[in-house]
């Protein structure tokens, strides 16, 4: 296979060049020379964002081991230099951090499933039998999704007519609800690594793969759900299921579909980018991995051996189109474009727009209620902190009267720009989940260090198979230093209580408030109430960029 | 609403086992291997050990071992206070030289499998299984 030529065929350059012209049109965003005989459309990690939002990409996204300095672990100006993206261009705004607030004013919001629908319809106009594949984290992340237990997203996604889906946060609806929704789906629910926990056998409800005939080619799409579901999320909510990477079973599935005559093998994955890269190096025979979970948006595929990995971003901000030439039982060529959903440029699809509004109608008053205003950009993405999490930690410290606050290092949650109202919808976009209780407890200094060391190893273990794909737990009220090059147990040092300026004493007890505990029976008010009370007291929120984590070992 | 003392303890429970950092081969493990091999050389590879990278529940971790042509396979949890897990013996008429079970792990550690082949040679495989507090999934 002519690998180098394949990467060169990426459609990225088309819209990077538009930057210079400063004139973005829908036709330009969609421009694509239809190629080969098969088209894949990939959306992933939508996190229930039906409407256009702002989404700031991270400034800090460190790679370790073999991934140090490799995409997606380069950010900002370095990322733009890597892909030849001009400062101030639409690609700068869509794909990288830097000047976010001012570019957001110029380019506007991104995403919206009614705009995504327009893009999907345009691709289907070129290729009526294009496969639409949803990488999961779809039924989680908003006020309406929480209150309808995922039904709003199922209704809207069904109207987009996907062909297959895999899963992660969906399981936090609880297994009874997940089973109910999955049974209702008119398309394939896939996960070769979703097992029955009791018998350690493939779960009956989730097929490992689905067959499709497209353009004369026999295509197998193999699903790979998030491997660390019961570890990263509360396993007690779905005790019947077991996960794991299970790459031996993945290889067995690839061999099985190849033996049955698959001309093309696609993996619809929620592994996270680095895990997908590692898996592609171990499992042979996968042509394309559509990668989700770590929310990376890459304008070109990354090739590992004979496998091409496509990363399509999050929160409805991007749609990937992948055209493939499949002949004589193999993939002969690939053309790819990461299409950014500029909501002011792409015309919403009227039918989907109405369907979205129908889902929201019963909740419209609550969604629109203004809680406060922000003078700062509020965002979440980044390995160590984000202003949204600083605000949440401040709320925990003051509303729960604690010395130290902990907020989970999740990667979902849209951004707000200075001058924006903070509505209840905005607040729920960064807090909604089925285990929201804000606990208040006591922990020793030693135990706090154990938590930080444990979470740090889930992100900075040099072997991607031991990484869970989240960011570092966010800490309020305490500063610390981290050497990411060290092994677990010796990364964290210089823990300092900010209220007193004193070093954390391992044997002393501190009051700690946090949320999103994976333990059953966690008590406390839901985090959205805690943060809402805090914002109402502040009126207008200003969050300075914090500098409480000193990072070394880069 | 505030959390009770009892809840506080429960919150910390999952992490209690983690105060000890990743275990390496203990003297007890070395002794068990020596007793099994009689001190003979052990080659890397030739035995398949399947175990999760990160345990979903450290109290019941599914593992599987197999080695074509093995007479016996010894499984050790190298970081447990008592490393011995099982010794599977395969007779000459065994149709398949594989076995699976569930084991309990005290913390992050290596699981080791040593196969004794029919010709008296030995092969080994090991895999690190992490036991973690959890939380914070992207």
DSSP A342-398: BTTTSPPPHHHHHHHHHHHGGGHHHHH-EEEEESS-B---SSS--HHHHHHHHHHHH
Question: Model confidence over A348-377: pLDDT tens digits?
Answer: 999 999 999 999 999 999 999 999 999 999
- Quickly list DSSP for chain B: ----HHHHHHHHHHHHGGGS------HHHHHHHHHHHTT--EEE-SSEEE--SB-S-TTSEEEEEE-TTEEEEEEEETTSSS-EEEEEE--TT-S--EEEEEE--SSSEEEEEEEEETTS-EEEEEEEEB--------
Q: Where are the alpha helices (DSSP H) in A185-272?
A: 229-232, 247-259
Of the candidate CATH numbers 3.60.21.10, 3.40.50.300, 1.10.260.30, 3.40.50.20, the domain formed by A3-358 belongs to 3.60.21.10
Specify the higher pLDDT residue, B12 or A498.
A498
Q: Report CA Rg, chain A.
A: 22
Q: State mean pLDDT over A216-227.
A: 98
Contact A466/B at CB under 8 A: yes
Q: Where are the alpha helices (DSSP H) in A161-246?
A: 175-184, 229-232
> How confident is the model at residue A389, as a pLDDT?
97
Given strand B109-117, what is the order of strands in its sheet?
B42-44, B122-129, B109-117, B70-77, B84-89
Distance CA A338, CA A75 (A): 17
Question: How far apart, in Å, do the first and last CA atoms of chain A sit?
Answer: 36
> How confident is the model at residue A20, as a pLDDT?
39
Say what percent of chain A tops pLDDT 70: 96
* Complex prediction ipTM: 0.85
Q: Which of B10, B19, B137 should be substituted to probe chain A, the one whose Cβ sees the most A Cβ atoms within 10 Å?
A: B137
Nearest CA in chain A to B64: A200
Bridge-based pairing state of the strands B84-89 and B48-50:
unpaired
Q: If we measure between CA atoms, which residue out of A338, A282, A324 comes closest to residue A1? A: A324
Bridge-based pairing state of the strands A201-202 and A195-196:
antiparallel
Delimit the domains of chain B by residue range. Answer: 5-129
- Helix (H/G/I), strand (E/B), else coil: A123: helix
Residues 132-191 of chain A whose Cβ lies under 8 A from any Cβ of chain B: 168
> How confident is the model at residue B18, as a pLDDT?
40
Phi, psi (deg, nearest 5) at residue A94 = -75, -35
Shortest Cα–Cα distance, A450 to chain B (Å): 7
Contact between chains at A439 and B3 (C-beta distance less than 8 A): yes
The CATH homologous superfamily for domain A369-552 is: 5'-Nucleotidase, C-terminal domain (3.90.780.10)
Residues of B contacting chain A (CB within 8 angstroms): 1-4, 7-8, 10-12, 14-15, 18-19, 21-22, 50, 52-57, 62, 100, 108, 128, 130, 132-138
Question: Model confidence over A424-476: pLDDT tens digits?
Answer: 999 999 999 999 999 999 999 999 999 999 999 999 999 999 998 899 999 99
Q: What angle do CA A544, A550, A554 make, to 5 degrees?
A: 120
The CATH homologous superfamily for domain B5-129 is: SoxY domain (2.60.40.2470)
Q: Which residue has the tokens 């550690």?
A: B109
- Contact at 8 Å (CB) between B83 and B36? no
- Helix (H/G/I), strand (E/B), else coil: A493: strand
Contact A295/B at CB under 8 A: yes
* Mean pLDDT of the residues in chain A: 95
Other CB atoms within 10 Å distance of the CB of residue A370: 11
> How confident is the model at residue A469, as a pLDDT?
86
Contact between chains at B136 and A519 (C-beta distance less than 8 A): no
Peptide bond into A223 cis (omega under 30): no
Contact A87/B at CB under 8 A: no
Per-residue pLDDT tens digits of chain B, which is 138 residues long: 333 333 333 333 333 334 344 445 788 999 999 999 999 999 998 999 999 999 999 999 999 999 999 999 999 999 999 999 999 999 988 889 999 999 999 999 999 999 999 999 999 999 999 998 776 555
Beta-bridge partners for A338: A320
> How confident is the model at residue B13, as a pLDDT?
35
Longest CA pairwise span in chain B (Å)? 67
Q: State mean pLDDT over A150-171.
A: 98
Q: State mean pLDDT over A547-554.
A: 94
Contact between chains at A230 and B56 (C-beta distance less than 8 A): yes
- Contact at 8 Å (CB) between A315 and A49? yes
Tokens of A350: 């009227």
Nearest CA in chain B to A248: B50
Identify the sign of the CA torsion A279, A280, A284, A287: positive
> How confident is the model at residue A23, as a pLDDT?
74
Q: Which residue has the tokens 């951090």?
A: A97
pTM exceeding 0.90: yes
Distance CA A317, CA A38 (A): 24
- Quickly list DSSP for A501-552: TEEPPTTSEEEEEE----STT--S-BHHHHHHHHHHHHSEE--PPP--EEEE
Task: Write the residue in A443, A471, A518 that is nearest to B134 by C-beta.
Answer: A518
> How confident is the model at residue B65, as a pLDDT?
97
Q: Above 50 in pLDDT, residue A9? A: no
Q: Which residue has the tokens 């990278």?
A: B53
Q: State mean pLDDT over A230-254.
A: 96
Tokens of A235: 């396993």
A vs B: CB pairs below 8 A: 126
Delimit the domains of chain A by residue range. Answer: 3-358, 369-552
- Helix (H/G/I), strand (E/B), else coil: A272: coil
Q: Above 80 in pLDDT, residue A222? A: yes
């Amino acid at each position: 296979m002519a690998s180098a030529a394949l990467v060169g065929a990426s459609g990225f350059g088309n819209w990077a060049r538009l930057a210079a012209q400063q004139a973005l049109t829908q036709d330009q965003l969609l421009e694509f020379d239809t190629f080969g005989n098969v088209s894949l459309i990939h959306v992933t990690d939508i996190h229930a964002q039906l409407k256009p939002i702002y989404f700031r990409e991270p400034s800090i996204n460190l790679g370790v081991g073999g991934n140090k300095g490799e995409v997606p672990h380069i950010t900002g100006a370095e990322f733009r230099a890597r892909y030849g993206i001009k400062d101030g261009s639409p690609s700068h705004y869509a794909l990288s951090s830097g000047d976010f607030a001012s570019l957001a004013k110029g380019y506007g919001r991104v995403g919206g499933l009614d705009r995504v629908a327009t893009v999907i319809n345009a691709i289907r106009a070129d290729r009526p039998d294009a496969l639409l594949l949803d990488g999961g984290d779809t039924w989680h992340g908003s006020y309406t999704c929480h209150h309808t237990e995922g039904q709003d997203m199922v209704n809207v996604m069904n109207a987009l007519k996907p062909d297959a889906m895999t899963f992660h946060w969906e399981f936090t609806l609880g297994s009874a609800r997940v089973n109910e929704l999955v049974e209702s789906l008119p398309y394939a629910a896939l996960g070769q690594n979703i097992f029955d926990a009791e018998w350690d056998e493939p779960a009956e409800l989730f097929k490992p793969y689905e067959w499709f005939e497209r353009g004369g080619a026999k295509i197998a799409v193999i699903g790979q759900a998030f491997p660390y579901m019961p570890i990263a999320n509360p396993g007690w909510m779905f005790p019947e299921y077991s996960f794991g990477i299970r790459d031996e079973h993945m290889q067995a599935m690839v061999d099985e579909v190849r033996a049955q005559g698959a001309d093309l093998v696609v993996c619809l994955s929620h592994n996270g980018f680095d895990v997908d890269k590692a898996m592609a190096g171990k499992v042979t025979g996968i042509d394309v991995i559509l990668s989700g979970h770590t929310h990376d948006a890459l304008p070109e595929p990354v090739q590992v051996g004979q496998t091409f990995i496509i990363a399509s971003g999050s929160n409805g901000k991007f749609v990937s189109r992948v055209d493939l030439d499949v002949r004589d039982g193999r993939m002969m060529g690939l053309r790819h474009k990461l299409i950014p959903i500029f909501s002011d440029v792409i015309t919403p699809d009227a039918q989907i727009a109405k369907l979205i509004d129908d889902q929201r109608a019963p909740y419209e008053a609550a969604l629109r209620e203004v809680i406060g205003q922000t003078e700062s950009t509020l965002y979440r993405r980044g390995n160590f902190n984000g202003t949204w999490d600083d605000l949440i930690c401040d709320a925990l410290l003051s509303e729960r009267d604690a010395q130290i606050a902990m907020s989970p290092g999740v990667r979902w949650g849209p951004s707000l720009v200075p001058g924006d109202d903070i509505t209840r919808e905005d607040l729920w976009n960064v807090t909604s989940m089925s285990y929201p209780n804000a606990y208040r407890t006591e922990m020793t200094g030693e135990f706090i260090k154990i938590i930080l060391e444990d979470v740090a190893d889930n992100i900075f273990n040099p072997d991607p198979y031991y990484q869970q794909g989240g960011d570092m737990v966010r800490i309020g009220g305490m500063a610390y230093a981290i050497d990411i090059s060290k092994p677990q147990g010796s990364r964290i040092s210089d823990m300092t209580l900010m209220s007193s300026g004193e070093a954390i004493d391992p044997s002393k007890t501190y009051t700690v408030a946090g949320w999103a505990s994976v333990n059953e029976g966690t008590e406390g008010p839901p985090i959205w109430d805690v943060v809402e009370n805090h914002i109402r007291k502040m009126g207008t929120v200003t969050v300075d960029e914090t500098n409480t984590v000193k990072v070394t070992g880069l | 609403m505030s959390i009770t003392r009892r809840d506080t303890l429960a919150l910390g429970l999952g992490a209690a086992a983690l105060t000890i950092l990743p275990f390496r081969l203990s003297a007890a493990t070395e002794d068990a291997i020596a007793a099994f091999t009689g001190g003979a050389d052990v080659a890397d590879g030739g035995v398949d050990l399947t175990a999760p990278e990160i345990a979903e529940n450290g109290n019941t971790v599914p593992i599987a071992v197999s080695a074509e042509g093995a007479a016996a396979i010894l499984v050790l949890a190298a970081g447990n206070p008592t490393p011995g897990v099982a010794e599977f013996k395969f007779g000459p008429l065994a149709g398949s030289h594989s076995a699976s079970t569930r084991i309990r792990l005290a913390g992050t550690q290596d699981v080791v499998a040593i196969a004794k082949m029919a010709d008296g040679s030995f092969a080994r495989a090991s895999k690190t299984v992490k036991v973690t507090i959890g939380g914070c999934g992207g």
